[in-house]
Amino acid sequence: MNYSVFILRRAQKELAGLPAVDYQRVCQHIEKLSSSPRPHGSKKLIARPGWRIRVGRYRVIYDIHDRDKKVVILHVGHRKDVY
């Protein structure tokens, strides 16, 4: 039941702008989404479509397509800027 993870170009740029230590932590959490797209602590967003996971000070906003077994990373950023 593994999902494919796709990262939008905008999210790739946001990810590339993170400090090296945070970049690695966020990437590890993104990789884990392929086996568990709704991990413990994830939340469905109310104000907009998608889900979010917390990785320290950063948030990963993503959408899940169960029919296609696909996770699409929409945004990655600091908690005060990502929403």
User: Interhelix angle for 20-32 vs 9-16, to 10°?
Assistant: 140
* Domain definitions of the chain by residue range: 4-78
Q: Which two tokens stand for residue 22?
A: 């945070």
Given a contact cutoff of 8 angstroms between Cβ atoms, the answer to whether 5 and 69 are in contact is no
Q: Is the pTM of this model over 0.75?
A: yes
Q: Selecting from 1.20.1060.10, 3.30.2310.20, 3.30.365.10, 3.40.50.150, what CATH number does the domain 4-78 have?
A: 3.30.2310.20
**Which residues have CB under 8 Å from 58's CB, separation 6+?**
18, 22, 26, 76, 77, 78, 79, 82
Cα 41 versus chain centre, distance: 13
Q: What is the pLDDT of residues 54-78, one digit of tens each?
A: 999 999 999 999 999 999 999 999 9
Q: What is the pLDDT of residues 12-32, one digit of tens each?
A: 999 999 999 999 999 999 999
Q: What is the pLDDT of residue 83?
A: 76
* pLDDT of 51 strictly over 70: yes
